[in-house]
A and B are shown apart, each in its own frame.
Chain A
Amino acid sequence: MNRINEEAENKPQLKLEFEIKEKDFNVAGEAASKVKKTLQQLGLTPEAVRNIAIVIYEAVMNVVIHATCGQLKVIIIPERVTVLTEDKGIGISNIELAMKEGYSTATHEIREMGFGAGMGLPNIKQCSHKLNIKSQVGVGTVLEAIIYLPSKDEKG
């Protein structure tokens, strides 16, 4: 799949990458906590850290549950953080429908584990400033969420 252009930019950046393996239900929590720690050390506001962690958790969980495998990249530059997941999987045929709160194609087993409320993508939207999803049925999905960071003097 074509990558969304973020990486091409020539700015100082910190990039964290995680492999999302098939049926790895732990990677979402692990990646979210690791990034959370890094962002706290970088001095981001608690609100930004919280939102970014939620976006990571929900996006990675979606790869594990709905796709096969993929990658997570978190790109941090002074003005914003980009969360990018790219997966190989069944893809999403109707993105607008997928974004609807309560819409889920999760199986019975997955629902028994407490997933499948159809709230993951709405949560991501709520916690980010920009959300971009590109998907090809039978190939995979790319999700890019951007969280803008308040500049140092806005933090108060």
Chain B
Amino acid sequence: MTLGELVNLLDFETLTGEVNLDKEVKSGYVSDLLSDVIANIDEGSVWITIQRHINILGVAKLKDIIAIVIPRKLELEQEVIERAKSEKIAILRDFRPAFEISGLIFNALKRG
């Protein structure tokens, strides 16, 4: 499933426009500990986290993460969004908490 299809299906907000919507989503990971994400996330994943400082982009780039998903409609600084666009990392946002979002994404990917 592409990121665009996932976004449409689950009605996520896209903060970075078209970035990566054509990319294939292979898996996902939920964690707010950066070293845990670095050790355990698969390539081609979406990453659900409440971390919103600029360093999440370094981690995303390091691990070829397609999209960062921010739960509970938490606020992000414009600087982070702009940088994400230029680094080609999608940032999505949703009103639901991380637990629900991961369940929805998990099921969507399982169904394919």
Contacts and interface: CB of A to CB of B under 8 A. Distances in A.
Does chain A bind chain B?
yes
Interface of A: 25-26, 28-30, 32-33, 36, 53-54, 57-58, 113-120, 122-123, 126
A122 to B, nearest CB: 8
A33 B61 CA distance: 7
- The 6 A-B residue pairs whose C-beta atoms are closest, nearest first, are A29-B58, A119-B35, A117-B33, A114-B34, A114-B51, A117-B35
Contacts of A29: 55, 57-59, 61-62
Interface residues of B, number: 18
Q: Looking at chain B's contact residues, is the secondary structure mostly helix, strand, loop, or mixed?
A: helix
Contact of A26 (B38, B49, B54, B62): B54
Contacts of B51: 113-114
A32 B63 CA distance: 11
B112 to A, nearest CB: 25
A57 B38 contact: yes
Nearest to B39: A123
B61 A115 contact: no
Contacts of A120: 35
A114 B47 CA distance: 14
A26 B36 CA distance: 19
14 contacts: A25-B53, A25-B54, A26-B58, A29-B59, A33-B62, A54-B39, A57-B38, A57-B62, A114-B33, A114-B34, A117-B35, A119-B35, A119-B39, A126-B39
